[in-house]
Chains A and B, each alone.
Chain A
């Protein structure tokens, strides 16, 4: 088996430019690797036209860094004529008739979509075990999960099947699996990337982002994905910028805050100790790191449960068995068509969240739960703004523990949320956040550092992340 996919994107690009290899070579290698690593269960669908698509690029001169590079797309992002299931029985035969805006951008850059990555059903979960197609496994230890909800994207990149993947992050679903599998995962600022064609879970929180092996490749891929889109009215118009521009800069003078909560007793000691070592290192290199008090961080899971379940119950009302997807048999009325289709089509986690979400939004409950959550959400956002008056970045561990064993959180509706306790606050405020690997624990499992930036300050996050990556190397 060839080993081109183990090279950096820059090295692969040079080989393509020099015509020493072709996009088809890369695709063949990725497909062989996927076949050999079938047990990882990283993909729900492999693109059976990808060889053909790669062949058409054979005579074309590479025009950008990502030309001809295979990429995995999380299966809640629609791809024209390529099955998109959201890891749910209710969509297990759904063939989209259009491309998501990010998919259009990826195709314009002539990247090759190798397949659709496994995930938690409708991105609801933190271990990808709610997938209708079974859980993807962690390449570092196949008895462990690769996290969620973008677990298949994480397994695919960490397992070396593809160098790049897209994930989505509603409450940590890019950063947490990146941490569990030792990858760089960025949740960009809300509005940075168009959500058009992302099957909505919680619309005010969802954001698409890149999952990669290195900081540089992450920033370079983000360059391609961003931009205002008239099809997503929450996408934001910004001056074009190069997210790689601060990579390699030194960090002297950077002002960094570490909230006490992020190294409190909720975090595994081995992880807190590793974070404390990083802090010493940063100080040594001239960065200012203050340990600070920050309010409302401990409320974020509670807010997330209310806001995400409420928005999900509304968004998932569209799955009614009429226009697309699965429809139950033996129905005698429209009402029974809705209820039976949804009862048979959704898995347990999704059912729980839609039921609680419907309850949250019904009658007076909307005031008690939803409105109150939006008020505290405003407070937590202002608290971030207060910290960011004095600091460039906020850091902490991405997760409270390393990747758990398979089956540990399954069917525990509470634990599933607690896996994301450190990453959820970022979604509340719409801020950018990134996981960068910071070594392994005594069992050889990856530990991740979480870097949070001001709105639209992704380039500053990459500056610190690249410094840490370099030191870790």
Chain B
């Protein structure tokens, strides 16, 4: 069976910000190739118009007035955060001096 290279798998995994184990890299080499071949079939469709359809909704989205509405409390906003400190969410250091 045709497979992607290890590098190709790591490339799409990086685009998706997903870390993979060695075992997964090997497994996805074959599985992702099947999907890549599937999506490539779009190239075979010759009979089509240029107009694109982004959404089934006619006339596209209405927009709300840009007004301040309901707001979350700090408690609600952080209630599901996996790591927090008081009303702040903790993340790893982003900028190293």
Contacts and interface: CB of A to CB of B under 8 A. Distances in A.
Given A97-B72, A306-B39, A376-B42, A339 B17 contact: yes
A309 B64 CA distance: 28
B16 A358 contact: yes
Identify whether the interface residues of A are mostly helix, strand, loop, or mixed. Answer: helix
A194 to B, nearest CB: 13
B81 A323 contact: yes
B68 to A, nearest CB: 15
Interface in B12-40: 12-13, 15-21, 24, 27-28, 31-32, 34-36, 38-39
Contacts of B47: 295, 379
Interface stretch (A32-40, A60-68, A162-170, A228-236): A228-236
A429 B39 CA distance: 19
Contact of A381 (B13, B18, B53, B63): B53
Contacts of A295: 47
A318 B39 CA distance: 25
A234 B18 CA distance: 31
Contacts of A355: 12-13, 15-16, 18, 28, 32
Nearest to B50: A375
B52 interface: yes
A358 B15 contact: yes
A335 to B, nearest CB: 8
Interface string A306-325: 10010001000100111111
A371 B52 contact: yes
A72 interface: no
B45 A230 contact: no
Contact of B38 (A327, A337, A342, A414): A414
Contact of B52 (A338, A378, A414): A378
Interface residues of B, number: 51
A461 B21 CA distance: 49
Interface string B58-97: 0001111000000010001101111100000101111000
Contacts of A320: 17
A94 B89 CA distance: 16
Contacts of A411: 31
B22 to A, nearest CB: 12
A286 interface: no
A196 to B, nearest CB: 12
Given A321-B82, A333-B92, A429-B56, A356 B39 contact: yes
A372 interface: yes
Contacts of B21: 343
Contacts of B89: 322-323
A352 B20 CA distance: 11
A331 interface: yes
A371 B80 CA distance: 37
B26 to A, nearest CB: 13
B51 A378 contact: yes
A230 B56 CA distance: 18
Contact of A372 (B38, B42, B51, B61): B42
Contacts of A175: none
A376 B48 contact: yes
Interface of B: 12-13, 15-21, 24, 27-28, 31-32, 34-36, 38-39, 41-43, 45, 47-57, 61-64, 72, 76-77, 79-83, 89, 91-94
30 contacts: A189-B56, A204-B55, A204-B56, A230-B64, A233-B61, A302-B38, A302-B39, A306-B39, A309-B39, A321-B82, A324-B80, A324-B81, A325-B80, A326-B82, A327-B83, A331-B92, A332-B92, A333-B93, A334-B94, A342-B16, A351-B18, A352-B31, A359-B36, A375-B49, A375-B52, A378-B52, A379-B47, A413-B34, A417-B38, A430-B55
